[in-house]
Structure 1
Amino acid sequence: MAFLTLKNIKKSYYVDKEAFPVLKGIDLSFDRGEFVSILGESGGGKSTLMNIIGGLDRQFEGQVTVDGQVLDHSKERQLDDYRRSTVGYIYQSYNLISHLTVLDNVLVALDMTTLSRESRRQRALQLLDQVGLSDQVNKHPNHLSGGQKQRVAIARALASDPQMIIADEPTGALDAENTQEVLSILDGIARDGKLVIAVTHSQEVANHGTRIVHLADGKIDGDVKLKDPYPLPQDTTNLQARPLPATAAYRTSFKHLMYNFWRNSLIMLGTAIGIFAVILFTGLGNGVNGYIQDQINSMANPRAITVFRNPSGKKMSQEQLQASLQNLSADPESMFISDHDIQRLRNLSDVDRVETGVMVPGFRLSYRNMQQSGTTMTTWNHSVTTSSIKQGHRPGNGEILLTKQQAIQLTSAKKYKSIIGKVVHLNFNWIDKNGKPVQISSDVKVSGLSDGASASTSLNHATMFKLLRDNDATTRANYVAVFASNLNNVQTVSNKIDNMRDNNNRRILGTVTVGSVLKTLNTYVHLASTILAAIAGISLLVSALMIIVTMYMSVSERTKEIGILRALGERKKDIRRLFTSESILIGFFSAILALVISFVVTFSLNHALYHLIKYNIVQITAGNIIFAFVIAIIISFIAALLPARRAAKLNPIDALAAD
């Protein structure tokens, strides 16, 4: 039984629906060990017949049988398997892949075999040695002569150990000496028991084989046997073919990327700048949030929850609660917190400590002949940090902490520090146990001066309550400092306090926490940084367009390569992966470059600003780094989808014919 049989093969091309027959009923059979030359003039249908035999042309009538199995040209996957395992191509124009070395051009066929990586390399080196190119393995095709290129093409055709070699004008571009060498190699391939079919218009080449089939005007008009086919070897072992692994596509993509590194580096730089801008603004947002949190936490204990009376009995925001504190002067009695409610606070779970306090809405200070009025004075508690005290210390018994501005008003801008340790007269109004006004008056020593955003006028707890008792004023607290057991419980405790109710189901208390202030500020900062990052993200769209254009250019430049790979047996998905993987690599390296730029700029900015604010204002997190890689890969992958799809849909025959 013949190895290859063609039965009634017909093929026509159509121009404006008018049919132009090229093959008009071809019946042929071939055996392994034959070196068959298909001879004929240009336009006689030789190349068309070769494409049908090789599984590249699917639009024809008739039947092709290979080794007893009918080849269904309507099934693309079957044709891919057929080209991968059975057919090896040798072209007149060599069709080597320019960005791959001689060795890699052979390995590209071996990647679709089950050999190990080292075995593939050894076989490629062995084949190149057989064709006399063992000293040229690391060169690129543009450094080879025509004869050398054709021998590389022969080694590649033999790499996967196919049963059939199709040679399209294999000596058409060679001189006499190289022609004889190539014909001798083809004859040796036939002697090894393979079917060699050479398409040629040269009678000299045709005479070198075992058989000549003459094709004219789409018909067989001669079939001459020059000599018997070569006998088949007794023991033959064939390599097992497999679909191209994804790793092979990535390796090829990486090699092409490096081959055109400088052009691709501009694309990577443009993409990296867009990613860098997004990272910078998000890192700046992280830094500003951290700085605000650091500053607020340095002023107040983050575990502290300040509790006030809720005069409305309804749910109030912290802003509304703070606004209601004007009742301290208008109706101070309405703001007192009962001992019962204070005990309820102490009984709450996750509460570490409760400190009662008094907030005075107005007071007056006298020192020598100077007086100064203040709006708020509180008892000192552990919710306040000492970082706001710039001179002196926190108030002890019989002492008061003033603000820097109060000290200046009582002395002068140059001598305000001299008031520390001096006695000032304090006067303020309060109420007695019956709600009647009481004037509180006493001398207190200045313990220190506070300044900044958290500056306050404070008496310690013992001093405040002694003054009230000595003047028969009520000692009921109008605010309480509650301390959560840890930071994670602050919001939970705050919610419990906000939901405490009386017998009429009215809310009793309201809370103010550092965390809520931070949350509000951080929300604004996050919004601002997100908007800035989104604006910077526009550059990522530009980067995506750059990648799309680059990939379309790459498809146009590599059209012939696509045809070569398809002829070797690569699937459409392999071609798509070839371009998407290269684009993903561009995105990956862009992300690395963006991170390098980001870290350099971050270090420079933080170094330049640290002496002003004592804080690293740009903070790049692990999440920012992960985001950089994810967004770069996603953008590059999406940008490559259309060009990769276009590449995969190219007709292999048209792709091979591209310049």
Structure 2
Amino acid sequence: MAFLELKNIYKSYFLGKEEFPVLKGINLDFELGDFVSILGESGGGKSTLMNIIGGLDWAFKGEVVLAGQRLNHSKETSLNKYRRETVGYIYQSYNLIPHLNVLDNVSLALDMTTLSVNERKQRAFDLLKQVGLEDHVKKYPKQLSGGQKQRVAIARALANDPQVIIADEPTGALDSQNTEEVLTLLNQIAAEGRLVIAVTHSQHVADSGTRIVRLADGKIISDERLKPAYKAKVQRKLHSKKLPLLTSVRNAFKHFKYHFKRNLLIIIGTAVGLFSVITFNGLGTGVKGYVNQQVNSLVNPKQVLVTPYVKSNNKQQDTYVNLATRDKKISAFSKKDINTLKRVKDVTKVEKIYTLSNVAISFNKKDTNISTVTNWTSILNTSSIKKGRMPKTGEIVIDKKDVAKSLTNQPNSLIGKKITLTYTGLNKLGQKAVATVKVKVVGLTESSGTSQINAVGGSTIVDALKAVNMSTNVAALGVSAKSMNAAKSVAKRINEAKVNRKLRFTATAVSSILDRIETYISLITNVLAGIAGISLLVSALMIIVTMYMSVSDRTKEIGILRALGESKGDIRRLFTSESILLGIFSATFATIIALIVQTLANSALSKIAHYSFIQISAGNIISAFVISIIISLLAAILPARHAASLNPIDALAGE
């Protein structure tokens, strides 16, 4: 029984409804050990017959039988396995992949065998040595002569240990010396017990084999045996497998590295958008942290500020009341109001807050004015006192930067000294009155921006006001909640509390203020990140264009890979892997630049405040990688599908 049989093969091409028959009932048997030349002029159907034998063409009528088993041309997986295990190709135009060196070109078919990495390299080297190219393994195809390229193609065809070698005009582009060397190699291959089928229009090539089949106008016109087939038999030792995902990634990286300069431009373009996203998120985190730190350094996060309820469009105002204006619409809090607040759930303490506006301070004949002086209550945070301690009655803590430095060049020397406070207002009779009090400086506070903490202890303010018959009523209270988490719920309950069946209080939790500020910061950060996202969209388009260009440039490579037995899925993975590599390198580059910018920016801003305003977290970096990979995947879908859908015959014919 013949090893390979063609039975009643008919093949036609169509132009519209018009049919053009190419093969008209081909019946052929092939034996292992034969070197069969299919001889004929161009247009006679040789190449079409070769594609059918090689499993590249499945649109025909008839049967291909291999070792007694009919080859199922309707199943792609069956044809992929057939090409992977049984067939090796040698092309007239060599069809070497330009971005792979000689060793890698030969190793391509071995990627789909069960050999280990080292075994694959060793077999590829041994085959190159067999064809006399052991000294050229690291060269690229463009560095080889025509004869050397054809010998590489022969080594690659033998790599997967095939039983059938199909040679398409194997000497068509060679000089006479190289032609003889190639024909000798083909006879040696047949002598090993393989079936060599050479498609040629050269009589000299045909005469070098064991059998000549002449083809004309789609029919066999003669079948001549020149000499018996070689008797030696070779047992197939290699076992095939589907192409591993890691191999697709590795092959994609080789192409990526070969075209690194072009890919670098894409990486930089994508990295700009990713860098912006990372940096803006880090900036948002840093600014939020800074605001939290500054607010918490000024006030206690467990505190709730309570001011009188003021009607405004029948809605409760959620704002601070200007206490210094003595607004007549604002009624002072009574003892009953304070007792009502003490009964609110989770409230531990209620304190009166007194605020004096536009207070003059003098020390050693130096004067300055401060906007407000308040009494020290639990609403203030002891962490704001950078030197000294909390004040008691007759004592004060003042802002070091703006107040203390205005009084002396050595602010720390003020601690323990007495300063004079002067407040001008109206007494209970509506007459101008001046309250003056000497207080001892016991601490210096530090805060950011225009915020200051100037606070006296105990009953200092009340005593000074009473001394000049000024009102000591209060329009602000500091309420201490059980915990920071309870502060918001306490504020809500206070806002809902009624005195004499009327709303009486406007409560604002410090933590709510922080939430509001953080919301604004998040909004700004998201807007900036959204703008950065536009550049990411442009980057995605760049990757799509690049991948389509890559598919166009590598059309012939796609055909070669399909001829070697790679599936459509393997082709999709190849181009998808390359796109993902672009995304990973882009995210890596963006992360490095972002971390450098973070270091430089925080160093520069440390002159303003000792705080890291840009805080890039691991989450920011992971998010950037996820975004980049998703963009790369989406960008690769259409080009990869297009590459996989190419007909291998058309791809091999492409330039």
Q: TM-score range by the shorter chain?
A: 0.7 to 0.9
Is 2:609 aligned against 1:616?
no
Is 2:225 aligned against 1:264?
no
Equivalent position of 2:457 in the other structure = 460
Q: Distance in 2 between matches of 1:316 and 1:390?
A: 41
Equivalent position of 1:130 in the other structure = 130
More off after superposition, 360-369 vs 135-144: 360-369
Contact 1:329–1:361 (CA under 8 A) maintained in structure 2 = no
Equivalent position of 1:40 in the other structure = 40
Equivalent position of 2:238 in the other structure = 239
Alpha-carbon distance change, 334 to 307 in structure 1, aligned in 2, over 3 angstroms = closer
Is 2:265 aligned against 1:229?
no
Matches within 5 A, 1:124-273: 124-231=124-231, 233=233, 236-273=235-272
Alpha-carbon distance change, 192 to 492 in structure 1, aligned in 2, over 3 angstroms = farther
Q: Which amino acid aligns with 1:78?
A: S
Matches within 5 A, 1:583-594: 583-594=579-590
Q: Distance in 2 between matches of 1:311 and 1:516?
A: 20
Alpha-carbon distance change, 140 to 492 in structure 1, aligned in 2, over 3 angstroms = farther
Equivalent position of 1:69 in the other structure = 69
Contact 1:316–1:510 (CA under 8 A) maintained in structure 2 = no
Matched residue SS, 2:167: strand
Q: Distance in 1 between matches of 2:407 and 2:160?
A: 96
Equivalent position of 1:575 in the other structure = 571
Alpha-carbon distance change, 337 to 100 in structure 1, aligned in 2, over 3 angstroms = farther
Q: Distance in 2 between matches of 1:145 and 1:206?
A: 24
Q: Distance in 2 between matches of 1:140 and 1:232?
A: 35
Contact 2:308–2:331 (CA under 8 A) maintained in structure 1 = no
Q: Distance in 1 between matches of 2:401 and 2:158?
A: 93
Q: CA deviation at 1:376?
A: 6.6
Matched residue SS, 2:592: helix
Q: Distance in 1 between matches of 2:145 and 2:402?
A: 93
Q: Distance in 1 between matches of 2:616 and 2:642?
A: 39
Q: CA deviation at 1:283?
A: 2.6
Give the TM-score taking structure 2 as reference length: 0.86
Q: Which amino acid aligns with 1:550?
A: T
Matched residue SS, 2:318: helix
Equivalent position of 2:284 in the other structure = 285
Alpha-carbon distance change, 496 to 438 in structure 1, aligned in 2, over 3 angstroms = farther
Q: CA deviation at 1:565?
A: 0.4
Q: CA deviation at 1:307?
A: 4.0
Equivalent position of 1:525 in the other structure = 521
Matches within 5 A, 1:626-637: 626-637=622-633
Q: Distance in 1 between matches of 2:358 and 2:269?
A: 63
Matched residue SS, 2:135: coil
Is 2:418 aligned against 1:421?
yes
Q: CA deviation at 1:601?
A: 2.4
Equivalent position of 2:97 in the other structure = 97
Q: CA deviation at 1:56?
A: 0.9
Q: Distance in 2 between matches of 1:405 and 1:152?
A: 80
Q: Distance in 2 between matches of 1:621 and 1:103?
A: 44
Q: Distance in 1 between matches of 2:360 and 2:99?
A: 86
Equivalent position of 1:385 in the other structure = 381
Matched residue SS, 1:630: helix
Equivalent position of 1:543 in the other structure = 539
Q: Distance in 1 between matches of 2:392 and 2:400?
A: 18
Equivalent position of 1:106 in the other structure = 106
Q: Which amino acid aligns with 1:396?
A: K
Alpha-carbon distance change, 193 to 323 in structure 1, aligned in 2, over 3 angstroms = farther
Matched residue SS, 1:461: coil
Is 2:355 aligned against 1:357?
no
Equivalent position of 2:440 in the other structure = 447
Alpha-carbon distance change, 495 to 108 in structure 1, aligned in 2, over 3 angstroms = farther
Q: Distance in 2 between matches of 1:151 and 1:415?
A: 89
Is 2:651 aligned against 1:655?
yes
Gaps of at least 5 residues in structure 1 are: none
Q: Which amino acid aligns with 2:18?
A: E
Equivalent position of 2:22 in the other structure = 22
Contact 2:330–2:475 (CA under 8 A) maintained in structure 1 = no
Q: Distance in 2 between matches of 1:467 and 1:648?
A: 88
Contact 2:356–2:423 (CA under 8 A) maintained in structure 1 = no
Give the TM-score taking structure 1 as reference length: 0.86
Q: CA deviation at 1:493?
A: 5.1
Match of 1:597 among 580, 593, 599: 593
Match of 2:478 among 464, 477, 480: 480
- What per-residue deviation string (whole Å, max 9, x for no partner) do you get for residues 338-361 of structure 1? 46445435x62xx7x535223357
Q: Distance in 1 between matches of 2:156 and 2:124?
A: 8
- What per-residue deviation string (whole Å, max 9, x for no partner) do you get for residues 481-539 of structure 1? 31544x555445555655667896x7775532332222222222222222222223222
Alpha-carbon distance change, 317 to 176 in structure 1, aligned in 2, over 3 angstroms = farther
More off after superposition, 599-608 vs 372-381: 372-381
Q: CA deviation at 1:312?
A: 7.1
Identity of aligned residues (%): 51
Contact 2:576–2:633 (CA under 8 A) maintained in structure 1 = yes
- What per-residue deviation string (whole Å, max 9, x for no partner) do you get for residues 257-292 of structure 1? 111111211121122122222323333323322322
User: For the aligned residues, what is the CA RMSD?
Assistant: 4.0
More off after superposition, 288-297 vs 463-472: 463-472
Alpha-carbon distance change, 641 to 404 in structure 1, aligned in 2, over 3 angstroms = closer
Q: Distance in 2 between matches of 1:20 and 1:472?
A: 113
What is the number of equivalent residue pairs in this alignment?
646
- What per-residue deviation string (whole Å, max 9, x for no partner) do you get for residues 573-627 of structure 1? 2111111111111111111111222222222222222212333332222222112
Alpha-carbon distance change, 237 to 84 in structure 1, aligned in 2, over 3 angstroms = closer
Is 2:530 aligned against 1:534?
yes
- What per-residue deviation string (whole Å, max 9, x for no partner) do you get for residues 283-327 of structure 1? 332332232222222222233333456577999777346479988
Q: Distance in 2 between matches of 1:459 and 1:93?
A: 94
